[in-house]
Amino acid sequence: MDASDPKEDESFVQETNQRMLTECITAYGSKRHRQLTLMRVIRGIFCLVMLLSTACMLLIYCAPVLSLLLRPFSVHYSRQAIAFLFGTWLSMWPFLFEKINRTKVVFSGDRVPSKERVLLFANHRTEVDWMYLWNLALRKGCLGSIKYVLKSSLMKLPVFGWGFHILEFISVERKWEIDEPRMLKKLSTFKDAKDPLWLVVFPEGTDYTEQKCIRSQMYAAENNLPILRNVLLPKTKGFYACLETLRESLDAVYDITITYKHRYPNFLDNAFGVDPAEVHINIQRILPREIPKSENDVSTWLMERFRFKDQLLTDFAHIGCFPSGGIEGDLSTFSCLVKAISIICCTCIFIYLTFSLAFGFKVFVPLSMAYLSCVTYFDVQPTLVLGSFRSLMCTKKKP
């Protein structure tokens, strides 16, 4: 990495702050792509209620059965069942984004083969970046196998926190002394090459804002690191832990760069369908053997990847697109509709059972909710009974 004069770097930071402020005002304060009408508000609320109610019913009726009855005997088949069921539910979000809201999602760069075991790392421009990766995973048949490293506060969200736990997301406190043993323990359960895996990491650790970028630039100037305009400096320890633990079982690592036209969206923009007009996702495929092995070398390598992201986003701002676009086709409307209708039908049945006169269901629902709350709070999964039994038998056989 080339050395540079810290004073010149600080001057450069100050000179770019005004430009960044102008860009942020343009991106966040510009006119919405579509006006927020009463009909959009009603449609958005209806979609959110539908998504929340379907998630709640599926979790209450199916999650305890799949985790308590199936996982103790086979983690692999339990994960497959959960991936199928909740992958079907997750497909309703890309359907909302692309078919109902008419958001154009443009993929560019390298093609992604179907059903690989991969580690993905992406920039974190807004609070909804992670949701648009579902659009790619759905096209590759891996939607139910996607997992995120996310901040622990999100695990406290009603209903969704239960789902994050059942899907085995990795929660972190963003304090490495606390997060390291927790991450390594969870990652060690993902080593089986038979289990599909899409593990997503956001190395910046937080979403991008102008103030965070200025702090990141000042830190870079003080520590002789690259001064980045469109992304924050990456934190490398979490990414390195994921890479080294899973390196031997991964097919590829993907560098994902996400940006938007013409306004950066928040969650409600997505729900009401007012923004964004377009989502652009650039994909760079990297083989695990092409990535260095030592932690220091991986740190330098990741910093260079974010320097590349920064330039890619700068070019996008001038050109309006990433190179080599249009590598993925449209979602199948028919397939998405079939999945959505099947989930809604199941939800209707579960709601009927919940409010029926059958005493068993009136007992099952609160017990299920208590179970989901406990396992999410304590971050535990049922123990593999067969594995423990085999270990016990092997121990007894030893003289």
- Which residue type, as a one-letter code, is found at position 163? G
Q: Note whether residue 361 is domain-resident.
A: no
The answer to whether the CB of 60 falls within 8 A of the CB of 365 is: yes
Question: Could you tell me which residues come within 8 angstroms of residue 39 by beta carbon, excluding any fewer than 6 positions away?
Answer: none
Q: Is 154 in contact with 161 (CB distance < 8 Å)? A: yes
Please say if the pLDDT value at position 31 is more than 90: no
The predicted pLDDT at position 37 comes to 93
pLDDT confidence bin for 327, thresholds 50/70/90:
confident
Lowest average pLDDT, out of 26-35, 129-138, 244-253, goes to: 26-35
Q: How many CA atoms lie within 13 A of 153 on its CB side?
A: 2
How many whole angstroms separate alpha carbon 63 and alpha carbon 61?
Answer: 6
In a domain, 351, yes or no: no
Tens-digit pLDDT profile for residues 185-206: 999 999 999 999 999 999 999 9
pLDDT-derived band at 25 (thresholds 50, 70, 90) equals: very low
202 burial via Cβ count (<10 Å: 0-12, 13-18, 19+) = buried
pLDDT tens per residue across span 37-49: 999 999 999 999 9
Is residue 372 domain-resident?
no
Long-range residue pairs from 307-314, CB within 8 A, at least 24 positions apart, any chain: 307/226, 307/228, 308/255, 309/123, 309/230, 309/231, 309/255, 309/257, 310/226, 310/228, 310/229, 310/230, 310/231, 312/257, 312/282, 313/123, 313/229, 313/230, 313/231, 313/257, 313/259, 314/229, 314/230
12 vs 358 pLDDT, higher one:
358
Residue 257: count other Cβ atoms within 10 Å of its Cβ.
Answer: 25
Position 188 scores a pLDDT of 96
- In this prediction, residues 76-90 reach a mean pLDDT of 96
Between 22 and 95, name the one with better pLDDT.
Answer: 95
pLDDT of 4 > 90? The answer is no
Q: Which band of pLDDT confidence, cut at 50, 70 and 90, is reported for residue 30?
A: low
Residue 18 has pLDDT above 80, yes or no: no
Tell me how far apart the alpha carbons of residues 320 and 246 are, in angstroms, rounded to a whole number. Answer: 36
**Whole-number Å distance between alpha carbons of 320 and 262:** 10
pLDDT surpassing 90 at residue 3: no
13 domain-assigned = yes
pLDDT for the residue numbered 239? 98
CB-side neighbour CA atoms (13 Å) of 333:
4
**CA-to-CA distance for 351 and 345, rounded, in angstroms?**
10
What's the predicted TM-score (pTM) here? 0.90
- For residue 200, give the H/E element and its range: strand 197-201
Q: What is the pLDDT of residue 318?
A: 94
Please state which of the ranges 1-10, 26-35, 267-276 shows the lowest mean pLDDT: 1-10
Domain of 94, in residue numbers? 6-339
pLDDT band at 34 (very low <50, low <70, confident <90, very high): confident
In a domain, 357, yes or no: no
pLDDT confidence of residue 324 = 85
Is residue 212 in some structural domain?
Answer: yes
Instruction: Answer whether 195's CB lies under 8 Å from 79's CB.
Output: yes
Above 70 in pLDDT, residue 396? no
Q: What is the mean pLDDT of the chain?
A: 89
What distance in Å separates the CA atoms of residue 196 and residue 80, rounded to the nearest whole number?
Answer: 8
What is the spatial distance between Cα 99 and Cα 332, in angstroms, rounded to a whole number? 9
Provide the pLDDT for residue 361: 87
Examine the pLDDT at 389 and tell me if it is beyond 50: no
pLDDT tens-digit map of 97-154: 999 999 999 999 999 999 899 999 999 999 999 999 999 999 999 999 999 999 999 9
Share of the chain above pLDDT 70, in %: 89
CATH number at residue 189: 3.40.1130
- pLDDT surpassing 80 at residue 22: no
Which amino acid type is present at position 171?
S
E strand or H helix that includes residue 257 = strand 252-261
Task: Give me the pLDDT at residue 356, please.
Answer: 84
Q: How far apart are CA 316 and CA 332, in angstroms?
A: 28
| Over residues 52-75, mean pLDDT | 94
| Domain total in the chain | 1
Query: What pLDDT is recorded for position 386?
Result: 57
**H or E element that contains 370:** helix 359-378
Token pair, residue 41, equals 């508000």
Q: What are phi and psi of 346, to 5 degrees?
A: -60, -40
Contact 82, 167 (CB under 8 A): yes
Quickly count: other Cβ atoms within 10 Å of residue 222's Cβ: 11
Q: Determine the Cα–Cα distance for residues 208 and 231; give it in Å rounded to an integer.
A: 7
Answer yes or no: is 370 within a domain. Answer: no
105, β-bridge pairs: 279
Please give the backbone phi and psi of residue 334, each rounded to the nearest 5 degrees, phi first.
-60, -45
